[in-house]
Structure 1
Amino acid sequence: MILDSHCHAWRRWPYDPPVPDPDTRGSVEQLLFEMDVHEVERAALVCARIGEGAFANEDNNEYAAQAAQRHPDRIAVIADVDCSWRPEHHTPGAAGRLRETAERLGITGFTHYVRATNDGWFRSEEGREFFAAAAELDLVASLAVAPAWQADLRAIAREFPTLPILVHHLGGVSARRPSFESDLAEVLTSAREPNMLVKVSGFHYHSARGWDFAYDDARPVFERLFAAYGPHRLCWGSDFPASRHFLTYTQSLEVVRSYADFLAKEDLELVLGGTLARVLETRRPVPVPSP
């Protein structure tokens, strides 16, 4: 069983430079095609209401929800709520906007991208109300946070222990930053919180050379995350189609399936799908087995 914890789809391709096929390159149909080819049963579709002008995707939450209605066994909607590119980002009323989105679209979870600099919002009354609403609504939290946010995120995890928190792309650490070791230390420290999980995705963002498959400088980070979190709190993700500039869907899968030689067969099965399947099914953190 393979499940994709992190992918996207857009009605219009949102990125520069312009492409010759903007109406299809990032479509749900393209995603489903890749899933079929690679025998991926289900995907958590992380919405991103991005793009400008004729290529804006203001309706990305609705686009994903419509796809989930057509393919309820294939697509789980992770709605964009107050992400950093939104004008309402970290303004009053976040909890209400989350509730409205969840009730209107029937989402599985939400994504919340923040800026690199920690503005303290997670620890604010507004931030705590936001995550309290997420826990009450039985949503999955899919968060794009830089390591500077990890300490505050640990506080949220402790306050709302029933909320599963999935941190994007190897915890947001990068070999390109001088702060790499201290950044990674923050992400590893967060393994103490049993409801925090990490997406095994975005190797191309971590690597000093994003095109250099099979990411020899990123796989050791995966191994250190595995040692800290274990397979029950790691979830593979493709980052398709945003990743297309760097690697294929096949490569996003094989960097884990074929190159992570430290994973036993049962570990690999959990990372590639078993862990995410349980989180999506229960909307609860995965119990960590006793040693």
Structure 2
Amino acid sequence: MIVDSHTHAWARWPYDPEVPDEATKGSVEHLIHEMDQNGVAEAVIVSARIEKNPLNNEYGAAAVRRYPNRLHQFADVDCVWSPEYHTPGAVDRLGRAADTLPIKGFTHYVGEPDGWFTTDEGKAFFSLAAERRLIASIAMGPAWAPALAEVVAANPDLVVLLHHMGGIRSTAPRSDLDAIAGLARYPNVHIKLSGFHYAVGLENGWDYPHPSAMWIAEGLYDAFGPDRLCWGSDFPALSRAMTYRQALEIVRLHCRFIKPGDLEEILGGTLKRLLNAAAPLRIT
């Protein structure tokens, strides 16, 4: 079973340049079509209330209710683009999302390190996530690793899933990989093996299969192993660099360092296990 750990679904295409088919290019119907064409059984919609999509949490929830056997939702809670970002009330906002949306987890995109993870409210926020069995899907870079280490050490039951190979760039020093790989000492930290096009920079997205990013993927594979890595496509943002099929084949064919037998876990087994153990689905 192939399970996609990182997709989006949009009512309107949010990225520049504009497209003539903005109502369908990133729609849930297009996502399901790509999944069907590529043998992907299930996918996680990572909601993001960005440009043209302030109701993306509601859009994702409707998609899960429409395709309950195919889709899972991680709601946008206090991401960096929101006015609520790292402001008082985060715990209540996370609780409301868990009570009103059919979610298995939440996503939290951060900006520059600001110390919030280890404030009293940040600690309570992640403690509630652990208590409610919500997967914390976090978009961050290596500079956040020390703060996240404090969070996961204090909350061993909190499942963390880092976006796009921990935000490491292909031109970064080895110390960036060491910072993210160092989180492997905490068994509750997992990594999305996705976003190769971000690692090399979208300006170089044409350079499929992104060989300059392979050292990052291999280093994370060595550190975390297959049972803590989850393949993700980044649909539909990936279309600025590659096709959905290519996003799958980067891992399935071009990560030649992956040992025989490990692909099954990376392509779906790991994520399916995490989803099964997460909060029970509430479809109302």
Superposition TM-score, scaled by structure 1 size: 0.93
Q: CA deviation at 1:94?
A: 0.3
Q: CA deviation at 1:77?
A: 0.4
Query: Does 2:88 align with 1:98?
Result: no
- Unpaired segments of 5 or more residues in structure 2? 280-284
The corresponding residue for 1:40 is 40
1:150-179 Cα offsets, whole Å, 9 max, x none, are 1110111111111110000011000244xx
The corresponding residue for 1:83 is 79
Query: Does 2:192 align with 1:199?
Result: yes
Partners of 2:5 and 2:72 in 1: how far apart?
10
Corresponding residue to 1:228 among 223, 231, 255 = 223
Query: Does 2:19 align with 1:31?
Result: no
Query: Does 2:151 align with 1:156?
Result: yes
Q: Which amino acid aligns with 1:172?
A: G
1:15-42 Cα offsets, whole Å, 9 max, x none, are 1111101111110000000000011011
- Which aligned segments of 4 or more residues in structure 1 are displaced greater than 4 angstroms? none
Q: CA deviation at 1:207?
A: 1.5
The corresponding residue for 1:213 is 208
The equivalences for 1:118-157 within 5 A come to 118-157=113-152
Partners of 1:214 and 1:175 in 2: how far apart?
13
Corresponding residue to 2:174 among 181, 189, 196 = 181
The corresponding residue for 1:12 is 12
Partners of 1:14 and 1:190 in 2: how far apart?
33
Partners of 2:65 and 2:226 in 1: how far apart?
31
Partners of 1:231 and 1:260 in 2: how far apart?
12
Contact 2:205-2:240 at 8 Å conserved across structures = no
Q: What is the aligned-residue RMSD (CA, Å)?
A: 1.1
The corresponding residue for 2:241 is 246
1:132-151 Cα offsets, whole Å, 9 max, x none, are 11111110110001111011
Q: CA deviation at 1:70?
A: 1.0
The corresponding residue for 1:60 is 56
- Unpaired segments of 5 or more residues in structure 1? 285-291
Secondary structure of the structure 2 residue equivalent to 1:175 = coil
Aligned residues: percent identity?
51
Contact 2:177-2:219 at 8 Å conserved across structures = no
1:66-116 Cα offsets, whole Å, 9 max, x none, are 11011111110000000000000000000100000110112110000000x
Partners of 1:189 and 1:264 in 2: how far apart?
22
